[in-house]
């Protein structure tokens, strides 16, 4: 069988297919594996895991389901969400069995409980997962071949069935004949024309996506009769460094950071859903805000060190000194931080109703980074069923054609919760791998 795309969904599919006895060729148009998964910083959402239980967190797939449906404004396809939330704990266990460290549990916006699983030192989850998947693929070299700088251009069909692909490789066009095809090409967040076509209000926005996320798989699937769903549903991530496209992980807010405007005041519950926080930031003067946190937050989240090395962070010995460096009112920012610390102590945010306030901002040094929304995730894509089979407009499956990850639509509805993308790619990547392998064996 052939897998198009070597990000998290593609390698999860390839490794699972190999575990089920298949021989797999993976084609990847970029010069390296990883796709957008390499940029994932938060965690893998899963509910009812032993890691949550060890922390005294009472959670369940049902609560995860309700959060996901609510976050997606109930536009999500319920059976796809059920599949994701029910299979996510097994996906975490599977990744850990491959060597990934996912023992830390944090919270993301829109979640009732802390359920984002990531490395215990607070480093980014994406590189950790890709390292484990790459090692697993390398261990099955006799079954899995990965071709880099090889761009799939067409899905080959015969008698209504997917039977391979055409691709442009380093040395010209190649053809891969296969008994099953899995699309794991990601979304189209790095294709500004496609973004503007489906969502004109996002024309000119920066993106957090890697350059390969240009919607190729969606275009190829459409050409062989695949149905598309909810293409207009495009998410912005609220905390992206202006003009640089570097995303500041939601984990910073989960650890206790606050958002303030140029008047030095909070203006939103920082852990609301991404669309709500994005909209609130765009309403502020200059269309940006400052993410403010203290040394304790930095100590708790290793991912912040990357931002420091990149020169994105302003630091100071006191809140007043920080305000001065940011050119905002010193007294106003000091009053805002004092008020927030009072809310933490009282366990009630009287201003914006923030439910998860991990700790007061009291430990010097103090830090800030300017942020604004940018195109982050395309919720729409190819229609699939719970078997990860690609569907036609009439709802029937295209035989031999499967898809997983951001190339698909319907899982996240009108807005994706942080931590659900990684759950989505691994859960449906595994399902696609398993069912494609079964299809290949039966032919």
Catalytic residues: 274
Alpha helix segments (H runs only) across 45-121: 50-54, 61-71, 78-97
SS3 293: strand
State the burial class of residue 63 (Cβ atoms within 10 Å of its Cβ: 0-12, 13-18, 19+): middle
- CB contact at 8 A, 206 and 194: no
> Would you give the DSSP letter of residue 73?
T
- CB contact at 8 A, 390 and 384: yes
- CB contact at 8 A, 5 and 146: no
The H or E element containing residue 134 is: helix 125-139
The H or E element containing residue 192 is: helix 192-198
CA distance 143 to 19: 9
Phi-psi region of 14 (alpha: psi -120 to 50; beta: other; left: phi over 0): alpha
């Amino acid at each position: 069988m052939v897998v198009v795309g070597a990000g998290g969904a593609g390698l999860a599919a390839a490794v699972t297919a190999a575990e089920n006895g298949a021989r797999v060729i993976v084609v990847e148009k970029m010069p390296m594996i990883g796709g957008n998964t390499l940029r994932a910083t938060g965690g893998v959402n899963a509910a009812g895991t032993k890691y949550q239980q060890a922390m005294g967190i009472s959670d369940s797939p049902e609560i995860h389901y309700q959060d996901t449906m609510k976050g997606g404004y109930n536009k999500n396809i319920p059976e796809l969400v059920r599949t994701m939330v029910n299979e996510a704990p097994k996906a975490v266990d599977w990744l850990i069995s491959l060597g990934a460290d996912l023992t830390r549990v944090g919270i993301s916006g829109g979640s009732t409980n802390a359920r984002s699983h990531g490395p215990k030192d607070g480093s980014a989850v994406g590189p950790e997962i890709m390292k484990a998947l790459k090692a697993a693929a390398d261990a099955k070299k006799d079954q899995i071949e990965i071709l880099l700088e090889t761009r799939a251009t067409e899905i080959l069909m015969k008698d209504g069935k997917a039977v391979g692909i055409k691709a442009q490789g380093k040395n010209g066009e190649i053809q891969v004949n296969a008994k099953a095809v899995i699309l794991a090409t990601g979304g189209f967040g790095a294709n500004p024309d496609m973004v503007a076509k489906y969502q004109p209000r996002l024309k000119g926005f920066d993106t957090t996506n890697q350059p390969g996320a240009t919607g190729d798989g969606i275009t190829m699937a459409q050409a062989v009769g695949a149905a598309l769903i909810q293409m207009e549903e495009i998410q912005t991530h609220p905390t992206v460094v202006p003009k640089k496209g570097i995303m500041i992980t939601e984990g910073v807010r989960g650890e206790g950071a606050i958002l303030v405007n140029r008047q030095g005041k909070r203006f939103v519950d920082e852990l609301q859903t991404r669309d709500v926080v994005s909209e609130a930031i765009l309403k502020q003067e200059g269309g940006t805000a400052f993410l403010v946190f203290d040394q304790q937050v930095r100590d708790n989240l290793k991912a912040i060190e990357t931002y420091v090395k990149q020169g994105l962070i302003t630091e100071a010995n006191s809140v007043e000194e920080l305000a001065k460096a940011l050119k905002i009112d010193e007294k106003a920012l000091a009053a805002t931080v004092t008020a927030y610390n009072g809310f933490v102590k009282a366990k009630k945010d009287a201003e914006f109703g923030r439910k998860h306030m991990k700790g007061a901002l009291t430990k010097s040094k103090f830090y800030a980074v300017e942020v604004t929304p940018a195109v982050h995730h395309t919720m729409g894509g190819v229609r699939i069923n719970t078997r990860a089979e690609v569907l036609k407009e009439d709802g029937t499956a295209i035989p031999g054609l499967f898809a997983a990850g951001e190339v698909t639509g319907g899982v996240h509805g009108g807005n994706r919760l942080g931590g659900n993308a990684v759950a989505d790619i691994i859960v449906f990547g595994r399902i696609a791998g398993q069912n494609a392998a079964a299809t290949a064996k039966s032919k």
